[in-house]
Chains A and B, each alone.
Chain A
Amino acid sequence: MSDTTANGGRESALLRFLWKTVKLLATVALTFLGLLLATFLIGRVVPVDPVLAVIGDRAPQSVYDRVYVELGLDRPLYEQFWLYLEKVFTGDFGQSFLTKRDIVDDIRRVFPATLELATVAILIGTLFGIPLGVWAAVRQGRFADQFVRVFGLIGYSAPIFWLGLLGLLVFYARLHWVAGPGRIDIAYEYSITAKTGLLLLDSAMQGEWDAFKNVFSHIILPASLLGYFSMAYISRMTRSFMLNELAQEYVTTARVKGVPEWRIIWVHALGNAAVPLVTVVALSYANLLEGSVLTETVFAWPGLGQYLTNSLQNADMNAVLGGTLVIGAIFVGLNLLSDLLYNLLDPRVRRHA
């Protein structure tokens, strides 16, 4: 008897979990559709004539009319949107006006650079941000707390492109500690074959340690800067989660039991704060995409951000919208991922789902 209810309980819990996942996916699908609608509408209001972008401004009227119909511009707006959807889902974002290549290929080419930069940055941000946040929470209201707060506030307040320029001026031009703009020196560019597109990984796997060093000295400055910005956010959130946990009764109980303080802080409290922290880290990873647009411009980093700004400055709307869409999709994806992780990791959410 009790066996069946337990079973039934588990089944309905599973069902609820599934239902929640389905609902979440439906929301994401809807959001994604909205994203597409937004880029579509932005593309329609641009003052650039899409026909002229294809044929140039010297083609005769007959060619113009033919392309006009081919692009579906004579049809009503909702049919145009449908056409746009069909194209996007078959991976056709159109051609870049600038590079004359498919946008998808362009994005695939530049994406690993951004991924590498953002990943190193989030590693730096997490490795420094979490301990700083814990430190601030433990020393609440004291010097350490104020220090972490001001340190974070500076990160929130400084324009990242300006810090990047200053960093280049000081650490590259004056002190020669790091390599300059770009991902790798030309001398090393052909010593490694691109497999993953992540140069740190590629050079390490191929045992090219000189190239690895070079790549590292290129990436460390922009990644530290980006990492600093996510660190500011991560440390602030860690602090507030930790304060929450340290005020709980189980902490008092553990203290009474005589558990050493470091264990209470780093194992008990941080262990419980870790679940919401996963969400925070995932979100800051997504926010790095935004910071990367400006950072990549400053450091001539051949990634998605630079591609986007380059296309913008040359009024290459297909590329701009393609890039915007990809970044939006990654953003939505990471948000979804953080939601799912949260559901998966937190036993309370799992049970009450």
Chain B
Amino acid sequence: MTVLSRREWLLSDRPASRRQARLGQVYRTWLGFRSNWLAMVGLAIVLTLILVAAFADVIAPYDPVVGGDLRTERFLPPFTDGHILGTDDLSRDIFSRIVHGSRLTLMVVVLVAVIATPIGLLVGTTAGYFGRWVDVTLMRITDIFLAFPRLILALAFVAALGPGIENAIIAIAITSWPPYARLARAETLTIRDSDFINAARLQGASSARILWGHITPLCLSSVIIRVTLDMAGIILTAAGLGFLGLGAQPPQPEWGAMIAAGRRFLIDQWWVATMPGIAIFIVSLGFNLLGDGLRDVLDPKARK
């Protein structure tokens, strides 16, 4: 037998090991994903965001918080020497602020996902697995959280906790887990009575072990798609809170707060409010495209 190329090895329909089968599956998914150019654009945007956030210090030519000369460098229009996106009312370079703001955006997205996903998984799988009154109670609570529009509930929470980016993250996380719980519950219901779960139970596995070791991994992929689809919404909610003055506080270069600050100079110095908005728009468009593409590839039912 000749040595297979890496591609042939991945696409083999008779995998020799579990690892090969799994990698082959990932590769096929990637091939499907790659054929969707809109999804690739989304992926590129998200990767760019991550890179920009990681190398913000190198990319940004100026300090994001300390401005230049207040007499000569205020409100420089875009494409002025050295200030590609112009400067704001405190002579700060807008491009540098946006670059550093990407860190805040990424932090919000990652932290919300890290907090909300496990809560949703835990609540959903528990409700689905135990059924009866546990299910009823947990799902009622979930419905109550779903009964508020998300931004409004986040507003109320931030009002209670006090403004600030950490509290905004907590508030958004508290308001985003219910859909994941519903999804995880639905998935759990379909696998709860299957033979391998019964076998595990008969072998004496505890409920916690079944939930964590057998059910959660199976719910994970659909929940992750859902989280990716929600990320644009998370970014927009965070920006909205920032715009209302309840998220990141000045002088932090948070994009929503930057728009709010530029609002006063909208008519004469339009670029101050416009540029951070473009950044928000591009990033959330990227997450939307990525999420759409992932759903198309991983969930053939939704593809029509």
Q: Which of B249-304 contact A (CB under 8 A)?
A: 256, 259, 263, 266-267, 270, 273-274, 277, 280-281, 284-285, 288-289, 292, 304
A161 touches B259 (CB 8 A): yes
Is residue A1 contacting chain B, with contact meaning CB distance below 8 A? Answer: no
Among residues of B, the one whose C-beta sits closest to the C-beta of A316 is B159
Q: A143 CA to B290 CA in the complex, in Å? A: 20
The 0/1 profile, CB within 8 Å of B marked 1, for residues 287-313 of chain A is: 101100110011000000000110011
A162 touches B149 (CB 8 A): no
Number of contact residues on A: which range applies? Answer: 35 or more
Q: Could you say which of B143, B155, B274 contacts A312, with CB atoms under 8 Å apart? A: B155
Q: Which of A303-341 contact B (CB under 8 A)?
A: 308-309, 312-313, 315, 317, 320-321, 324, 327-328, 331-332, 335
With contact pairs A35-B147, A165-B263 given, residues A308 and B281 touching in the complex (Cβ less than 8 Å): no
Q: Could you say which of B150, B158, B273, B304 contacts A243, with CB atoms under 8 Å apart? A: B304
B236 touches A297 (CB 8 A): no
Interface centre among A158, A289, A313 (most CB of B within 10 A): A158
- Residues of chain B contacted by A43 (CB below 8 angstroms): 160
A157 touches B232 (CB 8 A): yes
Is residue B58 contacting chain A, with contact meaning CB distance below 8 A? Answer: no
Is residue B55 contacting chain A, with contact meaning CB distance below 8 A? Answer: no
Name the distance in Å between A195's Cβ and chain B's nearest Cβ: 29
A168 touches B266 (CB 8 A): yes
- Residues of chain B contacted by A308 (CB below 8 angstroms): 152, 155
Binding site of B, secondary structure by majority: helix, strand, loop or mixed?
Answer: helix
Among residues of A, the one whose C-beta sits closest to the C-beta of B162 is A47
Q: A156 CA to B141 CA in the complex, in Å? A: 28
- Residues of chain B contacted by A293 (CB below 8 angstroms): 151-152, 155, 240, 244
Q: A168 CA to B150 CA in the complex, in Å? A: 26
Q: A153 CA to B155 CA in the complex, in Å? A: 25
A169 touches B149 (CB 8 A): no
Is residue A353 contacting chain B, with contact meaning CB distance below 8 A? Answer: no
Is residue B62 contacting chain A, with contact meaning CB distance below 8 A? Answer: no
- Residues of chain A contacted by B161 (CB below 8 angstroms): 45
Q: Could you say which of B147, B151, B158, B162 contacts A332, with CB atoms under 8 Å apart? A: B147
- Residues of chain B contacted by A313 (CB below 8 angstroms): 244-245
B273 touches A153 (CB 8 A): no
- Residues of chain B contacted by A39 (CB below 8 angstroms): 156
Q: A240 CA to B144 CA in the complex, in Å? A: 28
- Residues of chain B contacted by A165 (CB below 8 angstroms): 259, 263, 266, 273-274, 277
Name the distance in Å between A199's Cβ and chain B's nearest Cβ: 25
- Residues of chain B contacted by A289 (CB below 8 angstroms): 149, 152
Among residues of B, the one whose C-beta sits closest to the C-beta of A335 is B147
With contact pairs A35-B144, A317-B159 given, residues A162 and B150 touching in the complex (Cβ less than 8 Å): no
A159 touches B280 (CB 8 A): yes
Is residue A173 contacting chain B, with contact meaning CB distance below 8 A? Answer: yes
Is residue A30 contacting chain B, with contact meaning CB distance below 8 A? Answer: yes
Is residue B90 contacting chain A, with contact meaning CB distance below 8 A? Answer: no
- Residues of chain B contacted by A35 (CB below 8 angstroms): 144, 147-148
- Residues of chain B contacted by A309 (CB below 8 angstroms): 155, 244
- Residues of chain A contacted by B160 (CB below 8 angstroms): 42-43, 45-46
Interface centre among A37, A162, A308, A309 (most CB of B within 10 A): A162
Name the distance in Å between A213's Cβ and chain B's nearest Cβ: 24
The 0/1 profile, CB within 8 Å of B marked 1, for residues 31-67 of chain A is: 1001101110011011100000000000000000000
A38 touches B244 (CB 8 A): no
The 0/1 profile, CB within 8 Å of A marked 1, for residues 99-134 of chain B is: 000000000000000000000000000000000000
13 A-B pairs with CB atoms under 8 Å apart are: A30-B140, A35-B144, A38-B145, A39-B156, A45-B160, A46-B159, A153-B292, A157-B281, A294-B151, A312-B158, A313-B244, A315-B159, A320-B159
Known contacts A42-B160, A161-B259; 13 further A-B pairs (Cβ under 8 A)? A31-B143, A34-B141, A38-B153, A154-B281, A156-B284, A160-B236, A169-B266, A287-B149, A290-B149, A290-B151, A320-B155, A327-B148, A331-B148
